[in-house]
Amino acid sequence: MKKKLLSNFSCKDCKYLKNSMFDELNDDEINNIYEAKSCSFYKKGQVLFHQDTYPLGVYCINEGKVKVYKVGDDGKEQIIYLAREGNLLGYKSMISDEKYHVAGETIEDAQVCFIPKSMFMEILFRTPTLNKRLFKEVCHQLGVMTDIITNMAQKPVRERLAIVLLLLKETYSTASNENEPIVLNLTREDLANFVGTATETLIRLLHDFKEDNLITTNGRKIQIEDTTGLRKVANWN
């Protein structure tokens, strides 16, 4: 299922290098990463790494989107965040030396580079630039998570949905597609599992938002029509 690509292109030429954790590395250091990695093709819906298993390495997304989620005690998925091109995945549990708390699964056909654990750890601890960069990133993410916890605990579903939509726009927008609809390969259920609500509730709220001209939808395409309005609904920032 996991097809190995014939060509293993250089990280230095990766168009997402500047958005990655490797953006501050010098040529030699980048080359170390390049030599350690291998790149593979994953079909939509494939799992990169499983919850409750030990990390085997880290994943760097070259093409496609990945949903990172945790399965709760009752078997329902909670999407923690969506990762996109350039993002590094699966390193946190590796560093803390425990099983994955979450799983990572492609939501569209993807191309993902893999660096085996031993190699990554070795590079990580002999490359201060990378070490510092990742350390910072992890600390930043902790702050973001406290924000999410607070929102989950205090905000009603409607506001959380508005936030998620705004977030998705950010995750999916590039310079080129600024005003195009977000084509997210997320089912309504996924979306509900991101917001933290039931699928039916999510659908009803999307309906409301459409009536209020905040968004338009066409199947799984969602177009944000009124960012300001959404932000107001979210009672955010």
First-to-last CA distance in the chain?
Answer: 44
The entry of its own copies, DNA, none near residue 2 (CB within 5 to 8 angstroms by kind) is none
- Binding residues for its own copies, rule CB under 8 A, total 44
Residue 37 near DNA by CB under 7 A: no
Per DSSP, the residues of 23-83 read TT--HHHHHHHHHH-EEEEE-TT-EEE-TTS---EEEEEEES-EEEEEE-TTS-EEEEEEE
- 206 sits in which H/E element: helix 199-211
137 binds, among its own copies, DNA, none (CB under 5 to 8 A by kind): its own copies
Enter the tokens of residue 39: 């790149």
Q: How far is the CB of 134 from its own copies (least distance, A)?
A: 8
The site string for DNA over 163-192 (x = CB under 7 A, - otherwise) reads ------------------------xxx---
Site for its own copies in 179-218 (CB under 8 A): 196
Q: Judged by CB, which is closer to its own copies: 36, or 79? A: 79
Q: What is the DSSP string of 139-203?
A: HHHHHHHHHHHHHHHHS-HHHHHHHHHHHHHHHH--STTTTSPEE----HHHHHHHHTS-HHHHH
Cα separation of 110 and 217, whole Å?
Answer: 25
Q: Minimal CA–CA distance to 61: which of 103, 21, 26?
A: 21
Task: Check residue 231 and report its DSSP letter.
Answer: H
Residue 75: CB minimum distance to its own copies, A: 10
CB-CB neighbours of 179 under 10 Å: 8
Among 78, 171, 199, 223, binds DNA (CB under 7 A): 199
Among 65, 92, 158, 169, which residue sits at the site for DNA (rule: CB under 7 A)? 158
Count, residues near DNA per rule CB under 7 A: 19
In the complex with its own copies, the residue whose CB is nearer, 44 or 232, is 232
By CB under 7 A, residue 206 contacts DNA: yes
214 DSSP assignment? S
Which range touches DNA (CB under 7 A), out of 80-88, 103-111, 204-212, 224-232?
204-212
String of contacts with DNA for each residue 39-68, x by CB under 7 A: ------------------------------
Residues at the site binding DNA, with contacts judged by CB under 7 A = 156-158, 187-189, 196-201, 203-204, 206-207, 217, 219-220
